[in-house]
A and B are shown apart, each in its own frame.
Chain A
Amino acid sequence: MINQIWFFLIFIGILTALATGNINCINEVILNDTQEAVKFAISLTGIMAMWLGVMNIAKKSGLIDSLCKLLKPITKFLFPDIPNNHPAISLIIMNMITNMFGAGNSATALGIKAMEEMNKLNPYKKRATNAMCMFLVINMSSIQLVPLTVLKIRADAGATNPTEIISTALIATTASTLIGIISVKIMEKRR
């Protein structure tokens, strides 16, 4: 799937660039966007090291175990295939918390680590497990408590009440997450 999407984006992109006589933009992408990617990875390194360091403390002190025990009914329902004390569970929980508070890169760092841990339980390494599909769908429809960037745009544009959309967004994001979870639950039983 990723293979097709990747090819499609580049193929259509280059064709369009040729058709519109704008082929130089491809060079721009090669120069700038590759650099962007490396910059992003490097900026991710700091946050990732920070969080995994702090998480390691929380793990050793038993704090994560207590948190996992507390949230066990939820995680057991969402990820029945992951054993209780597996490190993936604590990473998933931390990813969800950081996601909710809009800490973008922190969430990405923890999420990637969670995927690595889940892959250790994967019998077919190139195929996503039920737990991975569930985790990604929840992550992608993530419940966001405060959409900060949007509020900033609204405030800058002179909205009389910039924060009025927090409640509507919260209801919509909860609905979309529930739809995502239900869809995954239905579809994972089919195969």
Chain B
Amino acid sequence: MSIIPFIIFTILIHGYIKNINLYECFVEGAKEGFKTTVRIMPYLIAVFVAIGIFKRSSAMNIFVSIFTPITKIIGLPKELIPLIIMRPISGSGSLALVKNITCTYGADSFIARVAATMMGSAETIFYTMAIYFGAIGIKKSRHTLTAALLSHIGAIAASLIICNIFFDK
């Protein structure tokens, strides 16, 4: 996206006009970046290992299949269930599922369109929470997870409703 260069360009021009010592300012700010990434490294390793073990041991697949029967009750295409469960846990995992769904059913199928919409409207909750809270040592996350899951359910429901309106089944 071209917006990033544009932002940097604007900031630099503005700083130059305001007669700021750009070089010094940049270096001073950049130093902060190093300190932070070194500090969060242990947390990153903790998160990567836990998600890695859960995924590679195929525990994730079992977990997903447990939830599959629920589909019939809500009237959701059952092909989408793995994606709905995978999305909050793993970004790359859910992207692989979207790819799989798109190739299996065709990019112009209803299911592929809903899957793409869902992928574009949700985020990897557990990963983000673990990294952001981990980085500053927060243990009590209070209502964050509940609210995030509610918003995730909202994203799924909204995707289904909107695709039903926009696309033919």
Residue B148 contacts which of A9, A42, A180 (CB distance < 8 angstroms)?
Answer: A180
User: How far, in whole Å, are A115 and B134 apart by their CA atoms in the complex?
Assistant: 10
Are A54's CB and B52's CB within 8 A?
Answer: no
Q: Any chain B CB within 8 A of the CB of A82?
A: no
Set of chain A residues within 8 Å of B152, measured between Cβ atoms = 141, 176
For the complex, what is the distance from the CA of A159 to the CA of B108, rounded to whole Å?
6
| Category for how many chain A residues contact B | 35 or more
Please determine whether B36 and A169 come into contact, CB atoms closer than 8 angstroms.
no
A184 at the interface (CB under 8 A from B): yes
Task: Please tell me which one of the listed residues A28, A38, A112 contacts residue B132 in the complex, with CB atoms under 8 A apart.
Answer: A112
- A3 vs B43: C-alpha distance when bound (angstroms): 12
- Against A, the Cβ 8 Å flags (1 = close, 0 = not) of B36-55 are 11101100111111111111
A-side interface mostly:
helix
Query: Do residues A176 and B154 form an inter-chain contact, with CB atoms below 8 A?
Result: yes
Closest to A28 in B: B56
A78 within 8 A of B: no
Contact size class for B? 35 or more
Given A22-B57, A172-B117, A1 and B140 contact (CB-CB distance below 8 Å): yes
B64 within 8 A of A: no
CA distance A184 to B144 in the complex (A): 7
User: Is B166 within 8 A of A168, CB to CB?
Assistant: yes
Interface residues in B135-169 by Cβ distance below 8 A to A read 135-148, 150-152, 154-155, 158-159, 162-163, 166-167
Output the least CB separation between A54 and chain B (Å).
Answer: 6
B7 at the interface (CB under 8 A from A): yes
Q: Is the Cβ of B11 less than 8 Å from the Cβ of A54?
A: yes
| A184 x B59 contact (CB < 8 A) | no
Tell whether A74 is near chain B: CB-to-CB under 8 Å: no
Task: Determine how close the nearest CB of chain A comes to the CB of B45; give it in whole angstroms.
Answer: 4
- Asked if A81 is an interface residue, CB under 8 A from chain B, the answer is no
B2 to chain A, nearest CB (A): 9
Does the CB pair A154–B102 fall under 8 Å?
yes
B98 touches A150 (CB 8 A): yes
The answer to whether B99 and A172 have CB atoms under 8 Å apart is no
A71 within 8 A of B: no
B→A interface (CB under 8 Å): 1, 3-4, 7-8, 10-12, 14-15, 17-18, 20, 22, 25-34, 36-38, 40-41, 44-59, 62-63, 95, 98-99, 102-103, 106-108, 112-113, 116-126, 128-148, 150-152, 154-155, 158-159, 162-163, 166-167
A-B contact pairs, 21 of them (CB 8 A): A1-B141, A2-B129, A2-B141, A22-B58, A37-B41, A59-B29, A103-B4, A109-B37, A116-B36, A146-B1, A159-B108, A169-B121, A172-B121, A172-B158, A179-B154, A180-B148, A180-B151, A180-B154, A183-B147, A187-B142, A188-B143
Given contacts A57-B22, A183-B143, 12 further A-B contacts (CB under 8 A): A25-B56, A30-B49, A33-B49, A41-B37, A48-B37, A52-B32, A53-B26, A61-B20, A63-B10, A154-B112, A157-B99, A165-B120
